[in-house]
Amino acid sequence: MAESPELHQSIALLASPIGDEASQTDRARAARYLLDHASRAYPELLRQLQSGKGGAVAIIEFLPQFNRQESIPVLAGLLESGDEAIAPVASLALARHQQSDALGALLHALLSTQANTVCAAANALALRGDRSACEALLRLASHHDPRARYHAVQAAGSLNCFTGEGLRLLALTDADADVRHLSERLLRSHCDGAAT
């Protein structure tokens, strides 16, 4: 199959950092082209992502728009890497993914030994807004890493997973001051919400 200059130009436009109105219009047009030519665009995007050519963040952000099941393991692997720049982007792509297995990939990432992966997955679960994640997030309230605890508590709080007593206990006993302060804020919001 012949190389398509328009395909490569459209992929390059995804990663353009220019934010003016004309550039945004060009990016939207490029995105439409890629989706309209998904049979060629999707494999090329994956090839470029795996080659490390550049534009990884833009490609990762774009993959959910194809709504392909096979992109979930790719995104999950990037999330599991724990890379400070890539893991959060991959987790947000999974949060926006329409396939139900994306939720499973995020829940699985909560079991990671890498704190960056756990934090990113917790944030993505909050964005996804699925309360079925509550049990897994609440278990992380006792995670050994304070960053993971903080993000898990924050996500569980945004999904209204906590009871007032659970928040009160964290606010009094957590070893990390930031987790205690977050729990206190969530408890105040919880009490204010219960009072109305």
Number of neighbours of residue 19 by Cβ within 10 angstroms: 8
Q: How far apart are CA 125 and CA 106, in angstroms?
A: 7
* CA gap 133, 65 in Å, rounded: 23
pLDDT at residue 1, as a whole number: 47
Q: Where are the domains of the chain?
A: 1-66
- In order along its 196 residues, the chain shows pLDDT tens digits of 456 899 999 998 988 877 788 888 999 999 999 999 999 999 999 999 988 777 899 999 999 999 999 999 999 999 999 999 999 999 999 999 999 999 999 999 999 999 999 999 999 999 999 999 999 999 999 999 999 999 999 999 999 999 999 999 999 999 999 999 999 999 998 887 665 5
